[in-house]
Structure 1
Amino acid sequence: MMFPRIRCIFPLLPLLFNLCSAAHTIFANSSLSGKQIITSSGGNFVLGFFAPGNSDRYYVGIWYGKIPKLTSVWVANRETPVADPSTSVFKISTDGNLVLLDSSNALVWSTDANTTTNSTVAMLLDSGNLQLCDASNPSRVVWQSMDHPTDTWLPGGRLGLNKLTGVSQRLTAWKNNDDPTPGIFNLELDPNGTSQYFIIWNSTYSYWTSGTWNGQLQIFSHVPEMRSNYNYDFQYFNNSVENYFNYSMKSSAIISRFVMDVDGRIKQLTWLDDKQLWTLFWQKPDKPCLVHSLCGAFGSCNENAMPICQCVKGFRVRSQSDWDLGDQSGGCTRNTPLQCVDRAHLSNSQRDKFLAMDNMRLPVNSQTLNGIGRDEDCKLACLNNCSCTAYSFSGSRCSVWHGELFNLQDQFDESGASTLQLRLAASELSNPRSNKTLVTWAVASAAAAVVASLALILFVTWRRRRSRLMGESKAVGSGIVPFRYSELRHATKNFSHRLGGGGFGSVFKGSFPNSTAIAVKRLEALRQGEKQFRTEVGTIGTIQHVNLVRLIGFCSEGANRLLVYEFMPKGSLDTHLFSASATVLNWKTRYQIAVGTARGLTYLHEQCRDCIIHCDIKPENILLDDSLTPKLSDFGLAKLMGRDFSRVLTTMRGTRGYLAPEMITGLPITAKADVYSYGMMLFEIVSGRRNLQEKTEEGNTAGFFPTLVFSKLMEKNIGSLLDQRLEGDADLEELNRVCKLACWCVQDNEICRSTMGQVLQVLEGFLEVSMPPIPRSLQLLTETPENINFFYQSLSANQGSQSSSDTPSGWQTRSSTTNNSSA
């Protein structure tokens, strides 16, 4: 419990008078105005006046002191800004409260603490907490900012519910990126007293829950990402008076915060000092279109477009300035009013029409009309009601909507997608008679636009090329950057520092002018067309997850095709597992790597719009960042290689032992092929050696490790399977779970293998796994290494054209010193 009742840090009253000049304290005879600030003792946080973004309104707030970009964590007067900080005063009033007075000496904001003395002091702590203490009784805190959070939850703070008063400590999003006024999205603990959080829209509608707290796993059931971040300690307290959560960081060097963002999602962010940016660890809901009424009335959400919110046809943005600042809650308004009154006196061409919108997630709050069995009758029922704005007819069900439409989602590719008939004024829909005139006008306008655009493009291209080398690092995180080959050659010092390579190509280390490290993969023998290559790269670039290596940019000049990735300083997993000189990974770290990798694969298989099969899961393609968080590399490259992928499979070094049988025999490949490879990698995470390693360090025959796992599971002697370097230091329940799961993953028949989603649930303790059967293929490999070679040669021969003598060299049994890293 971080703050059971937080006390001011004054062990002795006389010390108070020695702190009168302290930079982190406000006394009764001091105040803040203009650019004056106070800074916490360690310099972590600053308190003063600030103006967010491009605003000319000023607020008293707390922000990070060691981060260049002003990032506020708490705002006092978020509803009542002041115009001039130089004539405004933040001080301790005569009644002992902290107050903000404007230029006319009017009260703008107050702590409103129930003080019994006018002798108080305010101190800004290194935790970001502003405390108001009774100077005559220093152990008594009369008010603190962490009890009144705004949009940010800092380590040490509490979010909870007072059961006696019903008062909730909640996070409330800003109105927009430049306005800290309380917005429409809140994160708060369940008012009914359960251990789960809700995100609530407009204080009325709950659209996301964290799920209940699992004290054993230390996660919320709907936020499994929490388990892969072991830098946090969460605690839950529940008694007769209150229930709440708080959290702390295991390392004081890590700067982290939880934010209720203006886009309606809760986000966990961590500051990367080397890259000078905030990185997103997880956010909920996962997809922006799951946020209730994100785009407002008559706004449609499309996760495949930028921006994701657009007004539907016949409507325009109600407040463009708010949309530009990230607040689309105002939605859209009609271009032309409906012509409903006196419909009998209107001609057919003047009457309201319907626009068919396919592949839509239908809006909420529909009304079903019974007794209507035809689309035409459903349409007439809507037209005859002036408040009806849309209808949908599916099967024998007629649904109509009245008033404003919320939660529209375009290109909805899940079950429940339907056609929405949107009611519009006739003038908003095309008139066939005017089409010819419009086309003529459009052609003339387009010709003029082309000439102007060519001139503009030439100018912009010149400017971009001039500033490219100094600007590419700023573009990291904002989109996929197209690089020139000469730039990447310069960044990699003519490709002199090779990190490794695989079937897709070689990887080289490079750096931007600001010393930001990158990894550049030079694709080999790619025969894909320019347009298709850029399309596929754009698709890969939109795939972002904490357990996937981020694609920064690309190069496509003639035969030169290169991909630019973020650099992973800890290298690939194989160097940590198999290298004798590497630091031994403990069991907890290995388990977290297995969980993180499963999470990345689950995202590729089940959460992307189109399922992405990796086709090359192995330790060389699991990269580790500074905190040993696993990130999957080379995802999407199988699709990028196109027809060349069959060549890659047969020439790829380091994949023998990871390929599923169907990949070798030429059968159709599904996501279950990745599951097989993942299972083989799990065996190596347990043993710390290659599955196909023929000799141990002592010179004894090692055999095929997966067959040993089956036998030890049946003998209930799994402890002997663990990497000897760990000296038995492992959670045996987790070890047993991993071994059983790996055996299920490598079943011959893909139908018998688990999905990656199920694998993840098992690792996170949500599913139990039973004893698996022994695959027939592994039964062939129980005696000698010669059987292993025979098995793979037999599978290869089934391809028809390849004999055993043509078996690729990459399928030879590898020793413990083999190292073909892929970035």
Structure 2
Amino acid sequence: MVIWQSFDNPSHVLLPGGHLGFSPITGKNTTLVTYSFLYNISYTLSLDATTKRGFIIQQSPGGRMFAGTFPEWIDIHEDGDYVLAFNDVHTYMHLTSSGIIRFAKQRECDSVLWSAPTIACGVHTYCGRCDLDSHCGPYSLCTSSGSCTCPVGFDSPSTGRWTGEGCWREVPLNCESNPAEPEVTFYPIDGILRYPQNGWMSKVKGMRECESSCLRDCTCTAFAYDSTCLLWFGELRNTVVLESGSDGNRVYIRTTSKQQQSSFRVTHVFFPHKRMVVLWVTGAFAFILIGFILLWRCRRKLFEETMVNGDGSLKVFSFAQIKKITKNFSEKLGEGGFGCVFKGTMPVSTMVAVKRLKGFVQGDKQFRAEVQTIGMIQHTNLVRLLGFCLNWELRYSVALGTARGLAYLHEECRYCILHCDLKPDNILLDELFCPKIADFGMAKLLGRDYSRVLTTMRGTIGYLAPEWISGVPITQKADVYSYGMMLLEIISGRRNSEKIKEGKFTYFPTYAAVKLNEGNGMCLLDNGLGGNADAEQLARACRVACWCIQDAADHRPMMGQVVRMLEGVMDVEVPPVPRSLQKYVGMDDSTCSDWTASEVSC
């Protein structure tokens, strides 16, 4: 009999051969547990025996909880006890420090096969009662404030108190009859902030084909189309809608004509001599309404027909459409090395930023391929938003979020994507001060085997890695160097290019590397913060920055390692002073260690 084994305590990673759930051998319920040292929050992943293929992610302290189900293709054994186990030697399950469960495959560039929840329940992100599976229940609509409602044609609890039973149809669907009968219809629900969970992506194209796919299968309860066809089967859960319902996405719920009529029973009494007048007025109004609908659909179709075939579903606009969106490039937002940025408004009232390139010599085919790949990436730290100047806690959060975004570009995308122009100007902030990496005008795709070589220098002086000058192959470590230089500026609140007068020092990165070796990292903190910073976080950030700006690319960490260092789950040693920085004070290796605090003062 096995008394103890390492698989009984899998920590935050479930390896092949391991299992989750109750073990009849040890009598123990095995879970995954992770901890965020940055926010002092832990997450626990356990199986939910009350729901088929269900799981629960519990946050503590605070008690936030996310309940969901594993997809059908993940193998779950239910031999008397509910246990999740898989034996594929190339797969593993990982509970991240942000409370996200990921099912991944090793040694493949697009390794993440499935993850949940889609929105992390972190400190700076919304994760309310709508993420709890039992809050509103099936077929209900949870508003962004946490209240519950029912869609048209569904009944709600008569008491007004939601206990998780959800909504139920006033007129049940009958799958025994012909599913394509005229009485089967779809009712639109607007203002969708988050789609229901467990949607299936269909390869069909176009709104009508998507609707037909759902109509042909009686078990299909809803569909949505926004350049991609999504289908739902069974109960709809965890649907989040906006309070006003005037914006957001749209979902079509399968109903019957009787079900809709039961929700709009209004009795009108007309006198016989007025009936013809009412019919004429109604007909005229319907004719005008149909005309407006046809005009709107024609305008929308013009945009839908410009879709690019493929996984990216990236829209391609004509120059005339771009001129109309930007009002003939009338409102300029800014200007970069590759062109100007203008404000625009899409036909659906979505605000966009349009960059008009200039001096562009890249081939059209290569440009389309790279833009389409960049357009496919989705990550919470990879969107254009606002600007920044922050206290220490937010600065550290900006540094960590930026590192996560870069790690996603380098290590988790299908292609390794180099940003090539990382600097504080290109790290923008949203209303919650969440960092967003912007300006991919110089970004480049790179094969995982580094078979493609960059021959043209890209980036901004002051953030360029030494390999851009020396001519050695460019890898993602060039972005790591730029990140290190940017991190020093976030810490100090000043440009590295600005001259300083600190003893023999005139270049801040050199001053930072030497002071860090002396153990006096507090001297590097922005004076505007008045010393209000976590000493451990400051020392960790300074060490990470100096490791990132090492001369040799092999000596710099990967961005995934940088994330773990900043999260506090990986130790950071004191880095050496880079040789390229020593020349700014006339030093060499023999004299570097002989410097004293009397020669260099804060």
Q: TM-score, normalised by structure 1?
A: 0.39
1:547 paired with 2:547, answer no
| Displacement after TM superposition at 1:660 (Å) | 0.4
1:690 lines up with 2:495 in the alignment: yes
Aligned to 1:674: 479
Shift of 1:733: 0.5
The alignment covers a number of residue pairs equal to: 378
In the alignment, which of 555, 565, 574 is matched to residue 771 of structure 1? 574
* Mapped contact 1:185–1:260 kept (Cα < 8 A): no
Q: CA deviation at 1:225?
A: 10
Q: Residues 351-750 of structure 1: matches in 2 within 5 Å?
A: 466-467=299-300, 479-513=313-347, 515-549=349-383, 568=385, 570-571=386-387, 576=388, 584-635=389-440, 637-639=442-444, 649=458, 655-694=460-499, 703-750=506-553
- Tell me which residue corresponds to 1:206: 84
Q: In structure 2, what is the Cα distance between the partners aligned to 1:221 and 1:732?
A: 31
Shift of 1:548: 0.8
- Measured at CA, do residues 682 and 189 of structure 1 come closer, stay the same or move farther in structure 2, by a change above 3 Å? closer
What is the alpha-carbon distance in structure 2 between the residues aligned to residue 533 and residue 260 of structure 1? 43
Q: Deviations over 1:688-721 (max 9, x none)?
A: 110111258xx99972221111222122221121
Counterparts of 2:580 and 2:194, CA distance in 1: 44
Task: Give the AA of the match of 1:724.
Answer: N
For residue 703 of structure 1, give the secondary structure of its aligned residue in structure 2: strand
- Structure showing greater radius of gyration is 1
Alignment pair present for 1:761 and 2:564: yes
Q: Is contact 1:469–1:513 with CA below 8 Å preserved after alignment?
A: no
For residues 44 and 470 of structure 2, the distance between their equivalents in structure 1, rounded to whole angstroms, comes to: 57
C-alpha separation between the residues in 2 aligned to 1:737 and 1:547? 21
Write the distance in 2 (CA, Å) between the matches of 1:780 and 1:225: 48
Within 2, Cα distance between the matches of 1:211 and 1:640? 29
Q: Tell me if the contact between 2:454 and 2:473 (Cα under 8 Å) persists in the aligned partners.
A: no
Q: CA deviation at 1:306?
A: 4.4
TM-score scaled to structure 2, two decimals?
0.52
Counterpart selection for 2:124 from 221, 231, 255: 231
Candidates 184, 187, 191, aligned match of 2:55: 187
CA contact (8 A) 1:198 1:210 kept: no
In structure 2, relative to structure 1, the CA distance for the partners of 1:604 and 1:160 (3 Å cut) is: closer
Is 1:258 equivalent to 2:127 in the alignment? no
Contact 2:93 2:101 in 1 (8 A): no
Once the two structures are superposed, residues 326-348 of structure 1 have per-residue CA deviations (whole angstroms, 9 ceiling, x without a partner) of: 4689xxxxxxxxxxxxxxxxxxx
Given the alignment, which residue of 278, 287, 291 partners 2:193?
278
SS at match of 1:521: strand
Alignment of 1:166-185 (within 5 A): 170=48, 184-185=52-53
Deviation at 1:734, TM superposition (A): 0.5
Alpha-carbon distance change, 226 to 467 in structure 1, aligned in 2, over 3 angstroms: closer
CA shift, 1:772, in A, is 0.6
SS of 2:417's equivalent in the other structure is coil
Deviation at 1:531, TM superposition (A): 3.9
Q: Is the 8 A contact 1:480 1:541 kept in 2?
A: yes
Deviation per residue, 1:747-785 (Å, 9 max, x gap):
11111110011001111111000011111101112369x
Inter-CA distance 321–706: structure 2 relative to 1 (3 Å threshold): farther
Cα distance in 1 for partners of 2:537, 2:515 equals 15
* Contact 1:614 1:638 (8 Å CA) reproduced: yes
Where does 1:23-422 land on structure 2 (aligned, <5 Å)? 170=48, 184-188=52-56, 204-206=82-84, 211=95, 229-231=122-124, 257-258=130-131, 278=193, 306=203, 320=217, 322=219, 326=231
1:196–1:482 CA distance, 2 compared to 1 (3 A): closer
Cα distance in 2 between the residues matched to 1:700 and 1:271: 56
Q: Residues 416 and 446 of structure 2 are in contact (CA less than 8 Å); yes or no, is this contact kept in structure 1?
A: no
Q: Is the 8 A contact 1:707 1:781 kept in 2?
A: yes
Q: Cα offset for 1:228? A: 9.2
Q: 1:255 to 1:221 in 2, by over 3 A?
A: closer
Distance (whole Å) between structure 2 residues aligned to residue 504 and residue 271 of structure 1: 39
Secondary structure of the corresponding residue to residue 342 of structure 2: strand
Question: Do 2:344 and 2:354's aligned partners in 1 also have CA atoms closer than 8 Å?
Answer: yes
Aligned partner of 1:627: which letter?
Answer: L
Moved more, 496-505 or 602-611: 496-505
Residues 634, 600 of structure 1: alpha-carbon distance in 2 compared, 3 angstrom cutoff: same
1:496 and 1:716 mapped to 2: Cα distance?
53
Q: 1:513 to 1:680 in 2, by over 3 A?
A: same
Structure 2: gaps of 5 or more residues: 1-42, 59-64, 86-91, 103-115, 135-141, 146-189, 206-213, 224-229, 235-294, 588-602
- TM-aligned CA distance change 1:493 to 1:648, over 3 Å: farther
Q: Report the alpha carbon displacement of residue 493 of structure 1 after superposing the two structures with TM.
A: 2.9
In structure 1, how many angstroms separate the alpha carbons of the residues matched to 2:370 and 2:560? 25
**C-alpha distance in structure 2 between counterparts of 1:782 and 1:545, whole Å:** 42
Alignment partners' CA distance in 1, 2:369 and 2:485:
33
Structure 1 distance, partners of 2:130, 2:49, is: 12
Deviation per CA, 1:263-291, whole angstroms, max 9, x where unpaired?
Answer: xxxxxx9969xx965369xx9xxxx9xxx
- Alpha-carbon distance, 1:725 to partner: 1.0
Q: 1:469 to 1:326 in 2, by over 3 A?
A: closer
- Alpha-carbon RMSD across the aligned residues, in angstroms, is 5.1
In structure 1, give the amino acid aligned to 2:319: Y
Distance 2:568 2:143 in 1: 26
